[in-house]
Structure 1
Amino acid sequence: MKLDKLPVNNETMCVQVVSSNTDHMIYCLDENADVIQVTSISEATTDEVIAMIPHMVILVLNPHRVFDMMCGYKLRAGHIFEPDFYPYDHLAWRYFLDKEKLFIVREFAKQKNVVNYESSEEYHQNKHRITDYIFARPTPIELKDETMHQRMVEARRYELDALQKCVISC
């Protein structure tokens, strides 16, 4: 199947492709990780969908990969309940990325796409974004309990390692 280019809103910071076999949902996210455009495509391969997206940061996910990522995060964080399993076309995918993770995804894309990115001025301005996210103490329990903080550091590190494998930069 031959597909044309997908028109993408000018405010798009990242395109999130959520696939289930030959069915795909394409979410265009703005700088606040809010969905500004949604497109559904059926009967196409993931490679065909990616090829029709103009030069952009692309995050390719499927329900099983995200479920495994959320399970791994919860396991390392010490949660006892299994996360929800979302179908590929559920708008809950929009809540998968927050603003901070969106900028981390963009950093991963730059690292994959730009030669000598680590020697650029932009890298030196943003190099702590990923480590700040991993080592942050966003919850009161992490401020009080060092063991819990170490568990959450391991959980966030696992989450970002899994997320990095999903990033494509065209």
Structure 2
Amino acid sequence: MISIERKVERLEIPDSTMLIEVVSEDGGTNNHMIYYIAEDGSIIDFVHVVNAAISDVIRAIPHMMVINFTPMKFWRMLMETMMYNRIFEFPIAKYDDFSYWAMDSTMVELFRHFCKIINVARYTESDEYMAEVHIVNDYIHSKPVPVEHTNPEIHARAVTGRKRQIEIIRDWAL
């Protein structure tokens, strides 16, 4: 792990990075973890940045596929969208909990899609957009949990939860 304090100029990006996830510590402490995410959602590498404004951190990342959120924002998203399938609350993860912030390949595709909408000129008018726009609907209407296959009511609640999740995480793309 590399720790950078105060001034952040430019961060080196591993070659196979498909998405950069910046998890900022809650409470305005100006501490951030930058996770370099592979296509399959695994974490390639990470950098710990302390005492730096998020705007400086984002400016130092030479990559157009960047998301940013805090553990509390992530927890709130989980609580708003995933309670249809859980009895107990999710724990709040720490921003520097390396093992917690990996994701699956579907989430990488979703976040990349949202980042392209923001960062690629006329992307929504392109053939690439038309070929990828199904990613969002495929995720919303998927049935990843076994109980959704057997109970239509639970599947309907899951679809509603995934729609809300998409609304929330779309704002994390920069």
Q: TM over 0.5: same fold?
A: yes
Decide whether aligned partners of structure 1 residues 129 and 152 sit closer, same or farther in structure 2, where only a CA change above 3 A counts. same
Worse overlay, 139-148 or 82-91: 139-148
Q: Deviations over 1:5-28 (max 9, x none)?
A: 001111111111111121111100
TM-score, length basis structure 2 = 0.89
Decide whether aligned partners of structure 1 residues 56 and 113 sit closer, same or farther in structure 2, where only a CA change above 3 A counts. closer
Residue 107 of structure 2 is aligned with which of 78, 101, 104? 101
* Residues 124-135 of structure 1: pairs in structure 2 closer than 5 A: 124-135=130-141
Decide whether aligned partners of structure 1 residues 31 and 56 sit closer, same or farther in structure 2, where only a CA change above 3 A counts. same
State how far apart, in whole Å, the 1-side matches of 2:141 and 2:113 are.
17
1:89 aligns with 2:86: no
Q: Displaced runs of 4+ in structure 1, greater than 4 A?
A: none
Q: Deviations over 1:22-50 (max 9, x none)?
A: 11111001111111111011110111110
* Residues 56-95 of structure 1: pairs in structure 2 closer than 5 A: 56-75=64-83, 77-95=84-102
Q: Which residue of structure 2 lines up, in the alignment, with residue 49 of structure 1?
A: 57
SS in 2 for 1:148: helix
Per-residue deviation, 1:153 = 0.3
SS in 1 for 2:67: strand
Cα pair 1:134 1:153 within 8 Å, conserved: yes
SS in 1 for 2:52: coil
Q: Deviations over 1:38-85 (max 9, x none)?
A: 10111101111101000331110111101101111223x252210011
Alignment-mate amino acid for residue 119 of structure 1? E
Q: Which residue of structure 2 lines up, in the alignment, with residue 19 of structure 1?
A: 24
Alignment-mate amino acid for residue 24 of structure 1? H
Q: CA RMSD in A?
A: 1.4
TM-score, length basis structure 1 = 0.91
State how far apart, in whole Å, the 1-side matches of 2:116 and 2:124 are.
10
Cα pair 2:64 2:115 within 8 Å, conserved: no
Gaps of 5+ in 2: 1-5
- Identity among equivalent positions (%) equals 29
Per-residue deviation, 1:94 = 2.4
Q: Deviations over 1:95-151 (max 9, x none)?
A: 3x2110111000001111223222211111111111011001223321221111110
Gaps of 5+ in 1: none
